[in-house]
Amino acid sequence: MAKKAPNPIDKHVGSRVRMRRMMLGMSQEKLGDALGLTFQQVQKYEKGTNRIGASRLQQIAHILQVPVSFFFEGAPQTAGLPAGGMAEAPSPAYVSDFLATSDGLSLTKSFMRIKNSKLRRRIVDLVEQIAGEE
């Protein structure tokens, strides 16, 4: 029997857990200890392999110091559900995917430490030129 693919919402929530955990410099083991779980279970949550229940998500939000809604920001729309009326459009998935990587997180943290806004703008211009902006 073929393995069932993780639900896109579960994958998104898991990647947001991972992103926030990494932003805080917290290991999977430390988060697992705080939840009374193994780091392997945290890994499964972060990959979307195992679904995170409501009470567990509330616990994770408390430990990671964010509101529960944080985990759903930029979540993919599910077919058949309304898009949310006048709500602001979610950020593209590639942004949260990038921030969920160690390179993306490191680059973002370092970039935000640059106090000179003109220098930050010049760095953005340089990267856009290197990448060959669309």
Least confident window among 28-32, 93-97, 105-109: 93-97
Per-residue model confidence as pLDDT tens digits over 43-74 = 999 999 999 999 999 999 999 999 999 898 88
Q: Domain extents for the chain?
A: 1-75+91-100, 102-134
- Length of the chain counted residue by residue: 134
pLDDT number for residue 1: 61
What's the CATH architecture for 1-75+91-100? Answer: Orthogonal Bundle (1.10)
> Is residue 111 pLDDT above 90, yes or no?
no
Q: What mean pLDDT is reported for the chain?
A: 84
DSSP state of 116: -
pLDDT number for residue 55: 95
Q: Match 């490191």 to its residue by tokens.
A: 106
pLDDT number for residue 17: 94
